[in-house]
Structure 1
């Protein structure tokens, strides 16, 4: 079955387009208008096939991702475009609990740039590419103009062969994120995966650098694209039934170029506290009047020293880092007199050594 565009023909004509200028290491400037309707297509799968060929309605562009609905029970192993670029074969893995029908979504990158939904897409075909060593570890570089700060989930697209994975290192605005290209079994087969979250600290010219492979061995993988997908900016869900506000670092806004999110969801933690001005930021919704106990989850190395400061709902609590601590600790209590939305921040005060923050809770202890 042929994929169809998510938007109808009328919606495509009315789609908002934006022009973005991207340069590859200051050597190639690219200006391209990217309508949102050009970037996402869907097709319905009615039977339980191990692989299926889809005709694609674009004439150029790189595929950024191919996904099946239904979460981890149904997933795409790899995809391979045809030589003429008019179709793509998708290999799927169906497990118990994941049954057709299902909707296959293909996202393409018609050009390096940013789409109206805020997603940045970079094709290696538009990058400046060099070798990092004698065994041809490859470095891809782009520079681009960011309009505003923001958190982004980093997704890499490509594949590895010869029964192995391939190392990838992403550097953005001074932050470094390691990852790997999965084994896909062929040089023209690709898959996509998220490797973590990074932050663009402010507007202006930014540099993105990706190294594929290591300089001391032959490269057995290829990167075709990298996508920066907008991530949460610090707004957290409303409190649970018992009045507890659970603030996950996965939902925090990161202020500071060195901060890095490791892991996902409830297991995520933030490291890289090398700047005194760095902080995590949330906004608590619909907080009710009352007394709240502030609990901060911290993992501190044996070399950790200094203080942590939590500013919650207009009040400040401060506590020393305890070397070797790996648990939640109570910093104290605060009082809320007026209902509404309130900001919460965590920042270091003279903190040194290795340590990370994995979460914060405001527990209502007294109405």
Structure 2
């Protein structure tokens, strides 16, 4: 089996569109949540979100090319271009048949779809764009990245709701591990902060309504949590076989050593109340990695700031780690980023890589009074220094999809 390492990372997020900016703000406990200014949200129950700023697609790719891409594709392509530069890969020296792209999106091009529905209704079928379908379908980010890279290897656009990023990273890990690819760009992208999605999530009472205090609204594990905050962005990692990375003299930022996936088989949107599916995915990830529960040094929690979800994940961690659970810092990046939906796993994997490299666990902000049953060390409000060798990253999604990856500080 090949060892699988991480040689590049790219990020688009409410905390910045560049790796160092994103990481420094995360460590500092800065919130990226603000009032929505991309459309009039004044009549909505929730009027706040995590918004991507300062990404000018027309300036980057030109007006003609930018107009062919929905925002979720723009985010994914920009993050992939960052990851390519960060990795130092020379595309002309790669075997393109062994270069893959595993990038998914939960909702895809909702902005493109709704815009064309409006055109059909108001101006007739002749006004619907001929590029509507290729712009809105959720595999198009992976496709555009593949076109940019010239990659002719495996391409996959997983749709596992909010566990997409970890699903993509995990499945890419499997493929490289078995020698079927050398390099895969893996992660997720999302641009669903849109009136339709905001109304849907809001009417389902899934979102926080703490509109008066946006930066305090996302409160994982806190007794006052009242729902998640919609967010947007992309997180893409370059996964590569260790042999291939060493052969080209690449800088190695971390290693993927385990992956586990499961289904709750319980409910469309609610997690299993005992966290059973989450526990199975975590247990499987550890088995794949060949490690014991007490080898885990840090956990990046899914932790969306919902009453049921945070408690179920806490129960799952207790079941997995036993008494060791109280010794492991558990951080919730969504307290600062909001919920980037299908982009969450990729962004949080990048943060965990940085934690293992630098020995800094970002805080869970807005955690003033832990909720009932939430009794772990959630790194409240201040970053934590230490030496962390192995980290677990959880991602769970509607429909009961669970995907967990195990990352390790790279050692020869």
Q: What TM-score range do you get, normalising by the shorter chain?
A: under 0.3
Which structure is richer in relative contact order (CA contacts within 8 A, separation 6 or more)?
Answer: 2
TM score, norm. by length of structure 1: 0.24
**Higher Cα radius of gyration:** 1
TM score, norm. by length of structure 2: 0.22
Please identify which structure carries the higher strand content: 1
Please identify which structure carries the higher helix content: 2
